[in-house]
Amino acid sequence: MSTTNPRAERRTDTRLIAQHTTLGVDAEGYVHHLDRDASVVHRIDPETGTRERRSDLAGWVAARDHVAMGNAVDVYVHEYIGAEVGWTERDPTNRDVFGGAF
């Protein structure tokens, strides 16, 4: 019996980063959770587990002429939440780790 996976050779899913990731906790105590495939950030109340806000990054980028889609998470993290609300805990994004866009 072979221990190799014959399907692995035909595999097209090469995602190296998680589809879902936590961006951190803002100064108001809300958790920001990124769904990469949907290009959405959810702001969640950790005490109740309810979603307080849903930020559609594609729509959010369209409203700002200086932001490209590949930079949307970076701008959301640093300019939108970082500058306006502030972070108490911040989890690194792949841009922080790899220097690339999400």
Residue type, 14: T
pLDDT tens-digit readout, 81-94: 888 899 999 887 65
The mean predicted confidence, pLDDT, of the chain is: 77
What 3-state class would DSSP assign to 100?
coil
pLDDT score, position 102: 39
pLDDT tens-digit readout, 15-28: 556 678 889 999 99
Other beta carbons less than 10 A from residue 70's beta carbon:
12
Other beta carbons less than 10 A from residue 87's beta carbon:
16
